[in-house]
Chain A
Amino acid sequence: MLAFIVRRLFQSILVMLAVGFIAFSLFNFVGDPVNNMVGIEATIEERERMAKALGLNDPFPIQFARFAGNALRGDFGQSYRLSVPVEEAIGERLPATLELVFVAAVLALAIGVPLGVYTGLHREGAVSRLLLTTSLIGISLPTFLIGILLILTFSVWLGWLPSFGRGVTVNIGWESNLVSWEGFRSIILPSVTLCLFQLTLLMRLVRAEMLEVLRTDYIKFARARGLTSRAVNFGHALKNTLVPVITITGLQIGSLIAFAIITETVFQWPGMGLLFLQAIQFVDIPVMAAYLCLVAFIFVVINLIVDLLYYVIDPRLRLDGGAARAH
């Protein structure tokens, strides 16, 4: 178990290095930040001085080594655009994105899993068919369109919810939307937009897994023992669907963060996605590199958690190692 964690941590570090390398080398070719920082009338000498100050004239390996070394200490340098340390710029935006992703993930799980179980159990029912048809829309409509439709309905026509921004936030160590109703109103539309795809995906996944598991012998045997439908469906069947569901959920939380870019643009949500888009337009390499590294880091952490959850759920994984040692 411990060996497993250590091995995974080591792999994680390799992944992070690779991502950092790719991100950094990629951004070396997307444009010249100096153009954006100096005025049009800047002389060649001024440009040279700027490039030198930023270390842009050094050979690539040296630039990357400097970047990686600093990144390890949490120092991603100065944002070219905002002229503040990158950590500060991201730290300011991170809570907005994480709260958005958190609410969206909770919504997707809390609604998607029960609906999946329901449609798996009543696969011929009218409600199930309706849900499955509706879920096709959720899967096929692009996020930005859903966002715009929601804004049109709930902000423009009904006027119930704000159409953009974070609205009122309360500082609880970070600026939060979740502690006051006023703040929460602002997060509803973006999180619904963000979660819709994941929700339908989860629902269909749970449904497919349930159909699979319900056919197995141990479910038949559980029924033959007279266990209640509740115990069979939610105890025996649902638990056996969890391994794939957790895998996909983990991956999807990563893509929620990635998809948040679009949602944040539609709703002008001041999160990391928006920061990243602005950074691209400005060729703000430190911000872009830090953002990609952060996203990679989140993916790596989530995958580590997912792997550990396998151990919690499936005794076959948990005990094989122990049994092997015992014998």
Chain B
Amino acid sequence: MTDPVPLLQVEGLRVEFPTRRGVLVAVDGVSFHIDAGEVLGVVGESGAGKSLTGAAVIGLLEPPGRIASGQIRFEGQRIDNLRPERMRRLRGRSIAMVFQDPLTSLNPLYSIARQLTETIRTHLDLDEAAARKRAIELLDEVGIPAAARRIDEYPHQFSGGMRQRVVIALALAANPKLIIADEPTTALDVSIQAQIIALLKRLCAEHGTAVMLVTHDMGVIAETADRVAVMYAGRIVEVGDVQQVIGDARHPYTHGLMGSIPMIGHDVERLVQIDGAMPRLTEIPAGCAFNPRCPRALPRCRSERPELVSAAGAQVACWLFDGAGSDR
């Protein structure tokens, strides 16, 4: 790529869950990178492994989930094998995370002030007064009205959208270089979603913070992301420039996803849907995981697994775009 050392480089990431009935592979050989200040959208159905990829990057996989192989490098340094204490210092300071549900992300028993100053003082060498000042500035920045007064209130006194603003302020508290936003708007009212996404986008642009935006909302991706990675059954099936992927999807799965976005003005009886459902982790078919649902499956798709290959500006894991077997 153009940048010699990307901010985040993930290579061959494999996340496994050992269970009594065998090892489940939830994320399988995922590779991608995020450059400084870039917004990478990660889309896919529930269970595609998007959130687990995010959790693996920030080192918060829930046991018994574990990284079985692969490397995660942050600013060129491996972070997937750091000792817990080193990793903790990185969390919040260099890589932050925003979760899905703002109603449950904040500790109900502590005031906003306490949660903010605690986070600030964990990472920055500030005294209580300076941390509080910074906390108020942060709340101002995320658009909490009368921040200086409201800072001493408790989470339950804020609305859902306001709480997600507080959550974003908490994530930004130590000026991290990367924010992993795990479905940051899914739990919010539709009218609030756009505000929060705009806020996240503006703040990250101002601070030069890169974002890994995990979502299943293609509209959010189209508006926000620079590049997009499409995940299916634990693998990346297509990754590329957002305009490229949305405007001219290569992979039949991505194509199906685009087709299922409702458009205002297009009066259709029924939205296009991809037949079938994503396979369970225990039942991933041989070859390409998407082959049972794929309208354009080749015989080869049922036996051999495609790897990511370059196809006109994007990378696609599909035999249709294998130089030799292409039918286009």
Contact = CB atoms under 8 A, between A and B. Distances in A.
A315 interface: yes
Nearest to A225: B92
Contact of B91 (A225, A239, A323): A225
Contacts of A227: 92, 118-119, 122
A221 B156 CA distance: 17
B323 to A, nearest CB: 42
A314 B105 contact: no
B254 to A, nearest CB: 30
Contact of B123 (A226, A235, A314, A316): A226
Interface residues of B, number: 34
A215 B154 CA distance: 21
Contacts, number: 81
A242 to B, nearest CB: 8
Interface string B97-127: 1011100111111110000001100110000
B207 interface: no
B90 A226 contact: yes
B167 A226 contact: no
A218 B108 contact: yes
B316 interface: no
A315 B155 CA distance: 9
B105 A231 contact: no
Which residue of A217, A224, A313, A316 has the most chain B CB atoms within 10 A of its CB atom? Answer: A224
A141 interface: no
Interface in A197-225: 216-218, 220-225
A226 B88 contact: yes
A228 interface: yes
B28 to A, nearest CB: 24
Contacts of B91: 223-226
Contacts of B108: 218, 240, 314-316
Contacts of B174: 226
A284 to B, nearest CB: 49
Interface in A287-316: 313-316
Contacts of B100: 217
A319 interface: yes
Nearest to B89: A226
A185 interface: no
B96 interface: yes
A245 to B, nearest CB: 13
A319 B97 CA distance: 29
Contacts of B119: 225-227
A236 B107 contact: yes
A97 B119 CA distance: 47
Given A225-B119, A231-B118, A319 B107 contact: no
Contacts of B88: 223, 226, 228-229
Contacts of B122: 225-228, 231
A58 B24 CA distance: 80
A218 B107 contact: yes
B212 to A, nearest CB: 13
A239 B108 CA distance: 10
A220 to B, nearest CB: 7
B97 A316 contact: no
Contacts of B173: 225
Interface of B: 58, 60, 88-93, 96-97, 99-101, 104-111, 118-119, 122-123, 153-154, 156-157, 167, 170-171, 173-174
Interface of A: 216-218, 220-229, 231, 235-236, 239-240, 313-316, 319, 323
Closest 8 CB pairs of A and B: A226-B92, A226-B91, A224-B97, A217-B104, A225-B92, A315-B154, A218-B107, A221-B105
